[in-house]
Amino acid sequence: MKIIITGGAGFIGSHLAEYLTNKKHQIIVIDNLSTGRLENIRYFKKKIKFVNADISKRGKWMKNFEGTQVVFHFAALADIVPSIKNPTTYFQSNVVGTENIASTCVKYNVKKIIYAASSSCYGIPKKYPTSENESIKPQYPYALTKNIGEQILMHYAKIYGVQVTSMRLFNVYGTRSRTSGTYGAMFGVFLAQKLKKKPLTVVGDGTQKRDFTYISDVVLAFYKCINLKKNFQIFNVGTGKPISVNHIVKLLKCQSVNIPKRPGEPDETNANIGKIKKELNWHPKISIKNGINRLLKDINYWNNAPVWTPKTIKIATKEWFKYLK
């Protein structure tokens, strides 16, 4: 099967590309390497076609969609803080880029799009565990743009008949998670700090809980979507077993320092995964302890990642506290 993976040199995309390559599918990775890394695909790059292109700009990359059966759409800007600083950049990447993918799929008669959405669309939910029917209340531009992307794809599914599945990801972690200079996902921050023997910067008092989902479980969830027959499907991808940040610190066996709690962030993320269990027969398998052990075996991946301190985090999140209340 010919499959395109946008953002396929990034964290989740590269793991899926490797998995599908091992399944003998014909894989095309489209990535502009703004956040993705060639290092992520180096072990199997000779077995795939790599296209260096920015999907937010229409161009020759679109011709690769001819004869493609499935598109996995991961390409996006995916950090909260920069989205508050530069919302236009996020709209260009996550909204315009997604419409380009949708219209190109229609043009070349691609049958199926599987979209990496975000559970951040729920904002601060009223109910835990949170189901797919929860109200959409994005708290910052990143969450908004990812949900608009989902709406675009569902609209194209309705009008043009392409089959769309949207996977609302909770807190995905694992090897190859981003190491660029942007202040972002917790595990990337913590592992760089651990390598340099610096205290882990815990937001608030650390009692907040997150639904951490290991990368191999997430890849399997996406893979199972290939054979899904239903259209207009939205699935939460999580474990339904949230873990406190303080417990993560304990498992990493590090000292920590507390920094101010940020407005607009929920005290808990907790996926109701009843639907994905029923419809896709998908069940997360990797416990948080086993997942962290796997991370620690590859901790040197974060050797060149920036080491954040309370001072540099305060500077990086200045706009967050300025605009979010």
CA-to-CA distance for 276 and 192, rounded, in angstroms?
33
Buried b vs exposed e over 193-222: b needs ≥16 C-beta within 10 Å?
A: bbbeebebbbbeebebbbbbbbbbbbbbbb
Alpha helices in 128-244 (DSSP H): 141-160, 186-195, 215-224
DSSP state of 207: -
On the CB side of 314, CA atoms within 13 Å amount to 6
Ramachandran angles phi, psi of 222, nearest 5°: -65, -40
Short-list 172, 173, 168, 188, CA closest to 123? 168
Alpha helices in 91-140 (DSSP H): 97-107
On the CB side of 224, CA atoms within 13 Å amount to 19
For the annotated catalytic residues, the residue numbers are: 142
